[in-house]
């Protein structure tokens, strides 16, 4: 035990006063005469013993009252090894967690309002000479400078919820880099709900020069229901067709949700509505459909109603409706007649065939799928253009030449982990099996009968797996060789047939398998686009620009607002990478324009990490603090937070003076009761 005012202990000398009063009886006695004092003598002896005991008890009470008062004025406390040392100039850093999860309610207000109140209490517990720095999820530079107590409180009262989610290790890492020369010590307060998804205290690199105080704030009810994600059942969107979408709704609470209404809105028009039941701590999927009416970029939302945490009740998404999928066939002397017959005239496919010697390499980026139809050689320029096309998201299909397999062809295929044998195998074979779980065949066949009419193969090139990339045999022949293989790596994706599309090589061109395989390869080339992005998480987004306009500046404009941003952009092969970082600060729809012509919508959403409201318990916080090796750290008690005592004992540990005041009152009460009721 230590004392704030140890000189007050001299007050124990006052204990002599009641002792002296007790030893010297200053009461005057009156002389009375009695003829017979025997009875009086016995009564006097009995009364004397009783009075002596009473006087001793009263004396003891008075001594205890004085001792308790002396202790109270001496301000005793139980020392805390992590307590602050009294200092004239402290640099106080206060992190107010203003993430969206702080929208949850405590008993009296939102957690953010409670955090702001506690921040003002912190300022009241320090001296006027101390300076303050505010840390929030916005990482506002204006807050990260030393300010006076009054300025600190004014800035705290202005704080609002932030749409950015931060890891606690990131916030405390910033405090480590802040210099505190000219200050006696650095004090860091963390006011947060300590969400499990963001409170990574175990990864914090502690600063030995800092004292840390962690103040957990608890919501009354942590239940939350939110729209987690959405997706299309098919990556293809064409006008006049019915599109089917699915959304995942998550119930993060402990109570079952009944008949929750889910609304789908596209282009500001409600398209569908559904009700869903969700068990506690689980999710449910809901499927809704709508008609696609026009070509171009489109935007929509999935929305529910949930209180009090509402930031995640709406999920924004965007997509692009294409008129048709652009497919290019490149040939040496003549286009393949069966491909031409199959694809020409299809409204969903914009098929073109071009002779190699008339090919414009720069125009390849406009297509989704390129078919290399019987090319004997592939020049270095074409190989590089095809590699760039593939890296930009395009798909390649190679049908080998019936004449030979040139080394330039294998040079291209080697990027995808494959190569063809130089000479054809003339041993007859037959298609034996399909990799039915692969996306090429997914949903195409319910079941393949044992006696199915599968293609006969008269000649083929062996497809070798170089094991330098992910290679799969999609169609296998009876001899174990691949008839169709897929190779993919970071450079993209390529499909290779083992036989030329000629009657002398196989009857695949007229088999029932031909149409679904070619169409599935085309449809899969229409890569499923990113429907939405998260604020603060997706630093870059990819936009497909108009052909030949890579040098044009792109703008990001918020719909129905004056917000206009020219982001850092890097164009390559018809794709432009836009660096957003945290320039976009609010969820909603943003239009990407090129020369005032809309290219796409960006759907920005709040980070769903904030939707999971489960928080770390006190024992988990202590465990993480220990794991991080934070030596000078204190975890403020919940009871102290509720009763407004959270920051009373920063410099002196646990205060005891109030208890001694209570004890003095108790002893005074006992003395009064003794004097009043003892004789009765």
The residue-averaged pLDDT of 535-554 equals 72
Per the CB < 8 A criterion, the answer to whether 114 and 106 are in contact is yes
Place of tokens 């320039």: 583
- Does residue 191 or residue 236 have the better pLDDT? 191
Within-domain flag for 271: no
- Does residue 222 or residue 626 have the better pLDDT? 626
* Predicted pLDDT of residue 414: 93
* pLDDT higher than 60, residue 638: no
Same domain, residue pair 366 and 513: yes
Question: Residues of 555-583 as b/e, b for ≥16 C-beta within 10 angstroms?
Answer: bbbbeeeeeeeebebebebbbbebebeee
Same domain, residue pair 342 and 475: yes
Cross-strand partners of 419: 464
* Predicted pLDDT of residue 56: 83
Which tokens is 174 given? 């910033």
Distance, CA of 110 to chain centre: 21
> Residue 619 sits in which domain range?
90-221+614-651
The residue-averaged pLDDT of 289-299 equals 89
What is the C-alpha to C-alpha distance for residues 513 and 430, in angstroms, rounded to an integer?
13
pLDDT, tens only, 440-463: 988 787 677 777 889 999 999 999
Identify the band that residue 302 occupies on the pLDDT scale cut at 50, 70 and 90. very high
Among 506, 525, 544, the domain-final residue is 525
**In sequence order, what DSSP letters do the residues of 100-119 get, joined into one string?**
GGGGSB-SSSBHHHHHHHHH
* Predicted pLDDT of residue 31: 64
Same domain, residue pair 433 and 547: no
* Predicted pLDDT of residue 472: 93
- Does residue 180 or residue 258 have the better pLDDT? 258
Q: How many helices (H) and strands (E) does the chain have?
A: 12, 34
pLDDT, tens only, 466-491: 887 789 999 999 999 999 999 987 76
* pLDDT higher than 90, residue 342: yes
Same domain, residue pair 642 and 663: no
Identify the band that residue 643 occupies on the pLDDT scale cut at 50, 70 and 90. very low
The residue-averaged pLDDT of 546-554 equals 65
Same domain, residue pair 329 and 473: yes
Our CA dihedral for 453, 457, 460, 466, rounded to 10 degrees, sits at 30
Which tokens is 334 given? 């003549």
Largest Cα–Cα separation, the chain? 157
* Predicted pLDDT of residue 458: 96
Q: Which of 73-87, 141-155, 297-311, 500-514 has the lowest mean pLDDT?
A: 73-87
Average pLDDT over the chain reads 86
The enclosing domain of 640 has a CATH number of 3.40.50.410
Domain count, the chain: 4
Within-domain flag for 19: yes
What is the C-alpha to C-alpha distance for residues 397 and 407, in angstroms, rounded to an integer?
17
Identify the band that residue 272 occupies on the pLDDT scale cut at 50, 70 and 90. very high
| Residue positions counted in the chain | 680
pLDDT, tens only, 349-396: 999 999 999 999 988 988 999 999 999 999 999 999 999 898 888 899
* pLDDT higher than 80, residue 236: no
The residue-averaged pLDDT of 160-175 equals 91
Identify the band that residue 106 occupies on the pLDDT scale cut at 50, 70 and 90. confident
Q: Closest Cα partner for 485 from 474, 494, 493? A: 474
At residue 165, φ and ψ (nearest 5 deg) are -100, 135
Whether the ω angle into residue 527 lies within 30 degrees of 0, i.e. cis, is no
Read off the pTM: 0.75
* pLDDT higher than 90, residue 30: no
Q: Which H or E run includes 56?
A: helix 38-74
Among 492, 525, 558, the domain-final residue is 525
What is the C-alpha to C-alpha distance for residues 517 and 449, in angstroms, rounded to an integer?
18
* pLDDT higher than 80, residue 28: no
> Which percentage of the chain shows pLDDT scores above 90?
45
* pLDDT higher than 60, residue 40: no
Within-domain flag for 363: yes
The residue-averaged pLDDT of 503-508 equals 96
Question: Residues of 246-257 as b/e, b for ≥16 C-beta within 10 angstroms?
Answer: ebbbbbbbeeeb
- Does residue 316 or residue 10 have the better pLDDT? 316
> Which percentage of the chain shows pLDDT scores above 70?
89
Identify the band that residue 644 occupies on the pLDDT scale cut at 50, 70 and 90. very low
* pLDDT higher than 80, residue 34: no
The residue-averaged pLDDT of 405-416 equals 94
- Which residues lie closer than 8 Å to 72 by C-beta, 6 or more apart? 657, 658, 660, 661, 664
Within-domain flag for 620: yes
The residue-averaged pLDDT of 306-315 equals 91
Among 473, 508, 525, the domain-final residue is 525
The enclosing domain of 464 has a CATH number of 3.40.50.880
Within-domain flag for 312: no
Identify the band that residue 573 occupies on the pLDDT scale cut at 50, 70 and 90. low
What is the C-alpha to C-alpha distance for residues 420 and 459, in angstroms, rounded to an integer?
13
Same domain, residue pair 73 and 206: no
Q: Closest Cα partner for 167 from 140, 195, 187? A: 195
* pLDDT higher than 60, residue 153: yes
CB atoms within 10 A of CB 232: 16
SS3 sequence of 396-446 = EEEECCCCCCCHHHHHHHHHHCEEECCCCECCCEEEEEECCCCCCCCCCCC
Taking each helix axis as running N to C, give the angle between helix 38-74 and helix 16-23, from 0 to 180 degrees, rounded to the nearest 10: 170
- Does residue 47 or residue 523 have the better pLDDT? 523
Per the CB < 8 A criterion, the answer to whether 299 and 601 are in contact is yes
Which tokens is 153 given? 């409180």
* pLDDT higher than 70, residue 639: no
- Which residues lie closer than 8 Å to 503 by C-beta, 6 or more apart? 509
* pLDDT higher than 60, residue 575: yes
DSSP 680: -
- Does residue 90 or residue 35 have the better pLDDT? 90
Cross-strand partners of 609: none
Same domain, residue pair 145 and 46: no
The residue-averaged pLDDT of 562-574 equals 79
Which of 3-7, 40-44, 255-259 has the highest average model confidence (pLDDT)?
255-259
Cross-strand partners of 286: 247
* pLDDT higher than 90, residue 136: yes
Our CA dihedral for 371, 376, 380, 386, rounded to 10 degrees, sits at 10
**In sequence order, what DSSP letters do the residues of 494-549 get, joined into one string?**
EEEESS-SSTTTBSGGGSTTHHHHHHHHHHHHSPPPP--EETTT--EEEEEPPTT-
Same domain, residue pair 636 and 670: no
Both ends of the chain: CA-CA distance in Å?
Answer: 42
What is the C-alpha to C-alpha distance for residues 444 and 447, in angstroms, rounded to an integer?
9
Our CA dihedral for 658, 664, 667, 671, rounded to 10 degrees, sits at -150
Burial of 126 (0-12, 13-18, 19+ CB in 10 A): buried
Same domain, residue pair 419 and 342: yes
Q: Closest Cα partner for 496 from 471, 515, 513, 520? A: 471
The enclosing domain of 571 has a CATH number of 2.60.40
Same domain, residue pair 451 and 431: yes
What is the C-alpha to C-alpha distance for residues 566 and 597, in angstroms, rounded to an integer?
15
Same domain, residue pair 403 and 552: no
Within-domain flag for 666: yes
Identify the band that residue 653 occupies on the pLDDT scale cut at 50, 70 and 90. low
The residue-averaged pLDDT of 626-640 equals 73
CB atoms within 10 A of CB 481: 21
Within-domain flag for 415: yes
- Which residues lie closer than 8 Å to 622 by C-beta, 6 or more apart? 635
The residue-averaged pLDDT of 69-90 equals 74
Burial of 494 (0-12, 13-18, 19+ CB in 10 A): buried
Distance, CA of 625 to chain centre: 22
DSSP 626: H
Same domain, residue pair 471 and 540: no
* pLDDT higher than 80, residue 584: yes
Within-domain flag for 304: no
């Amino acid at each position: 035990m230590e004392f704030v005012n140890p000189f007050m202990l001299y007050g124990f000398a006052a204990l002599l006063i009641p002792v002296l009063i007790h030893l010297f009886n200053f009461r005057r006695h009156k002389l009375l005469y009695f003829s017979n004092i025997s009875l009086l003598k016995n009564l006097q002896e009995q009364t004397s013993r009783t009075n002596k005991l009473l006087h001793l008890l009263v004396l003891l009470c008075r001594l205890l009252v004085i001792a308790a008062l002396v202790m109270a004025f001496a301000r005793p406390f139980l020392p805390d090894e992590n307590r602050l040392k009294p200092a004239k100039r402290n640099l106080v850093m206060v992190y107010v967690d203003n993430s969206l999860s702080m929208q949850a309610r405590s008993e009296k207000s939102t957690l953010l309002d409670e955090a702001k109140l506690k921040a003002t209490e912190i300022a009241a517990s320090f001296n006027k000479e101390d300076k303050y720095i505010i840390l929030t999820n916005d990482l506002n530079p204006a807050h990260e400078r030393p300010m006076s107590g009054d300025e600190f409180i004014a800035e705290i009262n202005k704080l609002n919820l932030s749409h950015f989610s931060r890891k606690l290790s990131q916030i405390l890492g910033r405090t480590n880099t802040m210099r505190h020369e000219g200050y006696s010590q650095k004090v860091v307060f963390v006011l947060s709900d300590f969400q499990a998804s963001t409170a990574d205290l175990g990864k914090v690199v502690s600063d030995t020069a800092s004292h840390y105080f962690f103040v957990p704030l608890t919501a009354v009810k942590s239940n939350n229901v939110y729209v987690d994600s959405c997706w299309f059942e098919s990556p293809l969107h064409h006008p006049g067709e019915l599109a089917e979408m699915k959304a995942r709704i998550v119930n993060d609470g402990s109570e079952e949700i009944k008949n929750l209404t889910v609304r789908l809105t596209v282009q500001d028009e409600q398209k569908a509505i559904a009700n869903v039941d969700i068990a506690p701590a689980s999710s449910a999927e809901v499927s809704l459909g709508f008609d696609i009416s026009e070509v171009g970029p489109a935007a929509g939302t999935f929305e529910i109603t949930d209180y009090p945490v509402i930031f995640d009740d709406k999920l924004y998404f965007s997509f692009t409706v294409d008129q048709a999928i652009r497919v290019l066939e490149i040939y040496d002397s003549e286009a393949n007649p069966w491909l031409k017959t199959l694809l020409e005239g299809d409204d969903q496919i914009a098929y073109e065939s071009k002779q190699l010697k008339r090919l414009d390499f720069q125009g390849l980026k406009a297509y989704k799928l390129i078919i290399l139809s019987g090319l004997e050689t592939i020049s270095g320029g074409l190989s590089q253009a095809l590699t760039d096309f593939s890296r930009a998201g395009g798909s390649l299909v190679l049908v080998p030449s019936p004449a030979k397999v040139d080394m330039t062809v294998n040079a291209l295929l080697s990027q995808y982990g494959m190569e063809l044998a130089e000479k054809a195998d003339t041993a007859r074979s037959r298609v034996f099996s399909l990799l039915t779980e692969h996306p090429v065949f997914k949903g195409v066949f319910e079941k393949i009968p044992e006696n199915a009419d599968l293609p006969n193969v008269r000649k083929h090139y062996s497809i070798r797996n170089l094991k330098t990339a992910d290679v799969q045999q999609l169609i296998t022949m009876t001899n174990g060789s691949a008839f169709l293989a897929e190779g993919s790596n970071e450079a993209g994706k390529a499909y290779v047939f083992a036989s030329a599309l000629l009657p002398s090589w196989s009857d695949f061109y007229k088999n029932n398998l031909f149409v679904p395989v070619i169409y599935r390869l085309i449809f899969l080339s229409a890569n499923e686009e990113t429907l939405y992005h998260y604020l603060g998480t997706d630093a870059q987004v990819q936009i497909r620009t108009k052909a030949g306009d890579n040098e044009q500046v792109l703008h990001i404009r918020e719909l129905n607002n004056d917000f206009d941003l020219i982001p850092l952009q890097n164009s390559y092969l018809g794709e432009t990478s836009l660096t957003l970082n945290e320039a976009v600060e609010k969820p909603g729809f943003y239009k990407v324009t090129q020369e005032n012509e809309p290219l796409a919508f960006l759907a920005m959403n709040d980070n769903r990490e904030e939707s999971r409201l489960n928080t770390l318990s006190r024992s988990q916080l202590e465990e993480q603090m220990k794991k991080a090796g934070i030596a000078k750290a204190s975890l403020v008690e919940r009871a102290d937070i509720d009763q407004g005592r959270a920051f009373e004992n920063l410099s002196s540990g646990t205060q005891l003076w109030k208890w001694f005041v209570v004890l003095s009152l108790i002893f005074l009460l006992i003395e009064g009761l003794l004097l009043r009721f003892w004789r009765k």
